[in-house]
Amino acid sequence: MEFIFTEKLKLSSIANILAKEKRRFRFWMLLLLFIVLVFSLLELSLGSAGVSFIEVLFPKSDYALFVLREIRIPRLLTAVLIGATLSFAGLLLQTVFRNPLVGPSVLGISSGASLGVALVTMAGFNSFFISDEVPKVAAAIVFSLAVLFLLFSIAGRFKDHASVLIVGMLISYLAGAVVDILIFMSDNDALKEFTLWGMGSFSRMGYGEIALLSALLLISYIIVHRHRHLMNLYLIGELDEVNEQKKRKLVLLLLLLGGVITAFVTAFCGPIAFIGIAIPNLLRFVLRISDHKYLLPGSIMLGAAVALMCDLLSTMPWTNHSLPVNAVTALFGIPIIVFMIFKSRQSSI
């Protein structure tokens, strides 16, 4: 009788914890949704084109409609989509390696894209194409996927994920070395073009690219959401003892999806730094939840909100100048990463 009473208390305690997590998640999701809506309205209202808040709500002139349709709405959708995608990809990769300091740039995927763009812009291959953007996007995707497939082959040969992580970092250094050589040998125009691409921007995508990346993110989310329970088991190490083959398939699936969506983002918008590493860490700290049922949609919402905030700060609407997006994301992301390092050190003492 006492045993039954104790078990009922345990089940009641677990149910209360789950209910609190659910309420906390709903509160933060509603708050993030409100923040995204406010930032979206500011994104549409502020800028150097001279379109005011009233004209955003009630556009009457052809000029106001053009600015909204061709400049501000695509930039708004791009910022939301890029933030959501990079945060989602960062969560997948951090789950694979069980390491909060892993992100898309650490594995060499972004470095592969940078190498592809550098070859196109600074080695003269851009002159063979009519459009300047098509070869850069194609090269970034091809080289990113090449790095990803190399990581696949390594992940299939080694059981420990530390080897994959080390190889990814070495690929980053190798790609960086080749890019430095190309920079040294290039002319000023090509160097300026590559530098502007490397600073990152949310103004390079049109409606076609936005639709393509949205579909890719949606498909990836649906696939990953079906495996959320396996991700929870894998994260705490229980999947290692249950089914090694299922564990390997999960790792390869998460690597593939995280790598592919990162490749597309980097190809279109440049290597956007720190969002993929910082946002999943900030989300876990705020929610105090490790269940991927909540982390997956939460990462998308928080990533969208932070990317919008960084884009608003980068445009500096109070002046006629603007900052590179990467500069703002670094100012936001680095303190979060440093905080997480100190927090993990204190918890281990």
pLDDT (tens place) for every residue of the chain, 349 residues total: 544 545 444 555 666 777 787 888 889 899 999 999 999 888 887 766 666 666 666 667 777 777 777 888 888 999 999 999 999 999 998 888 887 877 777 777 888 888 888 888 776 655 544 455 677 777 887 888 888 778 777 766 666 666 777 777 888 888 888 888 888 777 777 777 777 777 778 888 888 889 989 999 999 999 999 988 888 888 877 766 667 778 888 888 888 888 888 888 888 888 888 888 889 988 988 888 888 889 999 999 999 999 999 888 887 766 666 778 888 888 888 888 888 777 766 554 5
Question: Do 81 and 210 touch, CB atoms closer than 8 A?
Answer: yes
Residue 9: its pLDDT value, please?
A: 44
What does each C-alpha distance from 263 to 85, 143, 228 come to in angstroms? 11, 9, 23
Residue 267: its pLDDT value, please?
A: 80
Question: Do 259 and 126 touch, CB atoms closer than 8 A?
Answer: no
- Amino acid letter, 260: V
* DSSP state, residue 126: G
CATH number of this structure's domain 52-94+103-348: 1.10.3470.10
Apex CA 333: angle with CA 320 and CA 262, to 5°?
A: 95
Q: Which residues contact 272 (CB under 8 A, 6 or more apart)?
A: 82, 86, 200, 265, 266, 325, 326, 329
Apex CA 45: angle with CA 64 and CA 212, to 5°?
A: 80
DSSP H helices, 270-324, are 275-287, 292-315
Question: Do 118 and 192 touch, CB atoms closer than 8 A?
Answer: no
**Whose structure tokens read 């498909």?**
219
Question: Do 35 and 301 touch, CB atoms closer than 8 A?
Answer: no
Question: Do 88 and 213 touch, CB atoms closer than 8 A?
Answer: no
Residue 126: its pLDDT value, please?
A: 55
Question: Do 273 and 165 touch, CB atoms closer than 8 A?
Answer: no
Question: Do 312 and 288 touch, CB atoms closer than 8 A?
Answer: no
Residue 62: its pLDDT value, please?
A: 73
- Amino acid letter, 118: A
Q: Which residues contact 162 (CB under 8 A, 6 or more apart)?
A: none
Distance, CA of 133 to CA of 1 (rounded, Å):
73
Question: Do 148 and 109 touch, CB atoms closer than 8 A?
Answer: yes
Helix (H) or strand (E) holding 74: helix 73-97
Distance, CA of 108 to CA of 113 (rounded, Å):
9
